[in-house]
Structure 1
Amino acid sequence: MDRRRFLSGATLGAALITVPWVTAGTASAKPQGLCALNVSSLTELQTAINRAAPGAVITVENGTYAVPSGKPITVKGRRGTKDQPITIIAQSRGGVTFTGEQSFVFDDSTGVTLSGFEFRQSTTLEIPANCSRIRLTRNDFQLADLPDLDWVMVRADYSKVDRNHFHHKTTIGVMLCIEGADDDKMATGVHVVRNYFSDHSFAGDNGGEPIRLGVSPRALSTASATVEYNLFERANGDPEAISVKSSGNFIRHNTIRNSRGGIVLRHGNKSVVEANFILDGKDGIRIYGNDHKIVNNYIAGLSSRALVVGSGTVRDHFPGESKESRRKNDAADRVLIAHNTLLNNGGTLSGETNRTIEPRDCTISDNIFVGDNEDLVSMSTTGNFTWSGNILWGSGGNGNIPAGTFRRVDPKLVQGTDGISRLAAGSPAIDSATLSTAPVTLDIDGQARGSLRDVGADEYSTAAIANRPLTTADVGPGAP
């Protein structure tokens, strides 16, 4: 091992090394000045971090590092940039394991990337609100399987959590939490992309989510988070695989397979749930709050309800309400549900009877509902709903969908090699969408909708399919 060290300005460095599986900045960016340093002990690692400048790449030699109690690896006052982050990386992906009570502790830092590590610590890895642009990429998270231990907490604006594997938790606790400063704010612009969440097997009724995006006191805070291209398998720790408790988020292009949990807009307003595949599990999408868009989703083979428009114990949440009131369910108002395909589920489109405040002013248009179980539409009390252009098929009853707002006709769905059923030539769904303003320009496959849109999540097209259900090859530490 080359142990030569030298100083360049205030920066500590060594011979330039090549790390082929991580990009320090943008694809074209070149770190300025001193850029690469190998370390083989926690002491060397801490010294390198303390002296790191923008563009520095600190490579930790492979091995298991037991972090002493009370002496975490501290990242304090570091200032990487968007294009020239400070990168702390394992010599080989998965070759470095951190054990002990803590690993990294962040404070007042920006533009820092952690890449390629296996985290096995016994306390939460926290990215606090006085940081920003912290990136966790290509890591493996299997923290101590302790009750009530949330594994990763992100409170820092514009942080990115990508291409990680979170797996094998049997106790109550969340794998990835996103919150913010104080008691009521959310971090802004967090990006969660191409992660693999698997094997959360907590058997309780609440508290075992893979992702929790906010909590009830933060419901009205606009997070503008994007959760996309993540794969969930055997996510059985909670009915909510993605639990949204904040406002203004984008949940898109995720695949949830063989899981108890679904996507739940539990608190908050103005989120978009678009082009997700929910397959062969239990629960689908459940909605509370106002002004959401639920478009282009494909939900098939679930044992329970595919899509639930929630009733409330309060009409709306509002600033200054009591903590007790904020925890209650907010009835779904002004929600757009369009261009979804719900196929062969235990229940199709449902309301709720266990809460008394009805959803209002929702639009349910241009969807395909196919099933043989129970009624295809089973709404409870609603107020001023708009229905149009829906297609119903199967031996399930029509239920209480208003007459004249649907057709009972075979949509001619044909299953492809990826298990997804799409429109065949001659389908009555083709060019028959009714909404005057297009809520989507692409379909779930990433194909152009055109001026005459088709009913359901799929647009009949001979163009190449850009988005299919995700597999393990698409996500996690080895993802493209």
Structure 2
Amino acid sequence: MKKQHRVPASTRSTESEPAFFLHSTRGVLVSLVLFMSACPGIANAEELRVETPSGLKKAAESAQPGDIITIVGADWHDVELKLTLTGTPEKPVTVRSQVAWTGESSLRLHGAYGVLDGFTFKNGSLKSGHVIRVAGSHHRVTRCTIENYNPAEVDVRYPWLSLYGHHHRVDHCRLAGKNHSGNMLVVWLVGEGEVGSHRITGNHFVDMARGDGNGFEALRIGTSEFSLKSAHCVVAENLFENCDGEIELISNKSCDNIYERNTIVGCAGALTLRHGNNCIVRENLILGDGDRRSGGIRVVGTGHQIIGNHIEGVGDRIDGAIALSAGVPDPKLHQHAQVQNVLIDGNTLIDNAGEEFVMGHGLGSRSRTLLPKDVTVKNTRRTGKRLLKQLKPEDVGPVASPK
């Protein structure tokens, strides 16, 4: 057999390579054209830069799914704007802000599948209304900041971030320095259509001054009027620090919500299930941090589950770590319903003022004569290290990377 000679690579002919390369390139180009034709949203998506409110409004009106609008230039002062964004689940319309909104600026968002990214409202104030009001459905508010947006008078009431409609997401936002009446974040359940089903995750609620009455909650879901509606909201992995507005730090006033893996540090109030039924409070870390007015978990209503929470060093704001309220016979919507059929399982209670469990908080006041019934308490831990993660400022808010 004749011996075969291997030709060194450096001396091989390349005459046939251009034809092969051209054939491959044509295949790629044809495939790319076909892909872009099949996905017109990708082919037509635009990135627009605007510098004025009128420019933003015009860009939003003509935006197509997948478009990104970025606000650039000087800060905006006394701008009151309503935007309607209409995207799709795969291609939302995104508005990013690289400017601060000041003075009496406010923003209303309607439509569906829009994203507000990186907005900052600071050192301003309103006479009424909402700083950011989100309606419609399936919007996202992410990496936004509202800070020191306070009127001259503490009793002027307006919320900072309001959610109407359904299926919104608020994540990695910072709400800081509120000193007047009204909530930092509130979910409204008004209307006959679908409401709720929001996700509130990874946010930083910090430095809310002590109020002079009701209406100073950091977070509220629902109202007494609509408290028997199912909201189906999830409040998870948020950090609450030094929020001292009132006894209800978090005020639940609706049904079927979940509060889990939140960290609460040094807040003069309690995670309160004030109205509504069938909520889950699970694996929250609540630390008094030396605040004698801090509280743990306060329960009103039926069918709740209080599971796996760690409460340590809280004060006597609600007379104990976990307080089950006394109820009113045949209560009206704004009154205290009797606590019934509640599971309290696997909670850790360490060095708290008052009692571990208060059975009948407020008994005898305002016609509250009914003690809790059908309550199961089991597997309580009173020693041991913390098993739950303590969230830090760097884990939440705009400084953290959105998931």
Matched, 1:288 2:300: yes
**In the alignment, which of 94, 107, 110 is matched to residue 104 of structure 1?**
107
**In the alignment, which of 191, 203, 211 is matched to residue 199 of structure 2?**
191
Rg larger for: 2
Alignment of 1:347-366 (within 5 A): 347=354, 348-351=356-359, 352=361, 353-354=363-364, 355-366=368-379
Aligned match of 2:326: 311
Q: How much does 1:35 deviate?
A: 2.4
Q: Distance in 2 between matches of 1:314 and 1:148?
A: 32
Shift in alpha-carbon separation, 1:67–1:83, aligned structure 2, 3 A: farther
CA contact (8 A) 1:31 1:56 kept: no
Q: Distance in 2 between matches of 1:149 and 1:33?
A: 40
Shift in alpha-carbon separation, 1:362–1:80, aligned structure 2, 3 A: same
CA contact (8 A) 1:89 1:116 kept: yes
Query: Which of the pair is proportionally richer in helix?
Result: 2
- Which residue identity is paired with 1:279? L
Alignment of 1:52-201 (within 5 A): 52-68=63-79, 72-76=80-84, 78-91=85-98, 96-107=99-110, 109-120=111-122, 121-122=125-126, 123-127=129-133, 129=135, 131-142=136-147, 143-145=149-151, 147-182=156-191, 187-201=195-209
Q: Distance in 1 between matches of 2:238 and 2:194?
A: 21
Q: Distance in 1 between matches of 2:334 and 2:92?
A: 39
Alignment of 1:250-269 (within 5 A): 250-269=258-277
Shift in alpha-carbon separation, 1:32–1:287, aligned structure 2, 3 A: farther
Give the match's secondary structure for 2:341: coil
Matched, 1:329 2:331: no
Give the unaligned 5+ runs of structure 2. 1-40
- Which residue identity is paired with 1:340? N
Q: Distance in 2 between matches of 1:159 and 1:31?
A: 24
Q: Distance in 1 between matches of 2:242 and 2:42?
A: 41
Q: How much does 1:62 deviate?
A: 4.3
Q: Distance in 2 between matches of 1:88 and 1:104?
A: 12
Q: Distance in 1 between matches of 2:74 and 2:165?
A: 29
C-alpha distance after superposition, 1:113-154 (max 9, x if no partner): 11111114524135455x101211111112233521211110
CA contact (8 A) 1:127 1:134 kept: no
**In the alignment, which of 273, 280, 283 is matched to residue 272 of structure 1?**
280
Q: How much does 1:32 deviate?
A: 4.9
Matched, 1:471 2:392: yes
Alignment of 1:445-464 (within 5 A): 445=388
Q: Distance in 1 between matches of 2:370 and 2:194?
A: 28
CA contact (8 A) 2:107 2:133 kept: no
Aligned match of 1:19: none
Shift in alpha-carbon separation, 1:66–1:50, aligned structure 2, 3 A: same
C-alpha distance after superposition, 1:293-352 (max 9, x if no partner): 10000000011121001111135x6xxxxxxx1100011100000000011000221122
Q: How much does 1:470 deviate?
A: 0.4
Matched, 1:220 2:228: yes
Aligned match of 1:406: none
Query: What CA RMSD, in Å, does the superposition of the two structures yield over aligned residues?
Result: 1.9
C-alpha distance after superposition, 1:359-412 (max 9, x if no partner): 1111111112x4xxxxxxxxxxxxxxxxxxxxxxxxxxxxxxxxxxxxxxxx5x
Give the match's secondary structure for 1:161: strand
Give the match's secondary structure for 2:225: helix
How many residues are matched? 340
Give the match's secondary structure for 2:241: strand
Q: How much does 1:285 deviate?
A: 0.1
Give every structure 1 segment of 4 or more consecutive aligned residues whose post-TM-superposition deviation is greater than 4 Å: none
Q: Distance in 2 between matches of 1:56 and 1:344?
A: 53
Q: Distance in 1 between matches of 2:400 and 2:270?
A: 23
CA contact (8 A) 1:167 1:199 kept: yes
Give the match's secondary structure for 2:140: strand
Q: How much does 1:88 deviate?
A: 0.4
- Which residue identity is paired with 2:323? V
Q: Distance in 2 between matches of 1:117 and 1:106?
A: 13
Give the unaligned 5+ runs of structure 1. 1-29, 318-324, 371-410, 414-420, 423-443, 446-467
Shift in alpha-carbon separation, 1:31–1:251, aligned structure 2, 3 A: farther
Give the match's secondary structure for 1:220: coil
Aligned match of 1:233: 241
What percent of counterpart residues are identical? Answer: 30
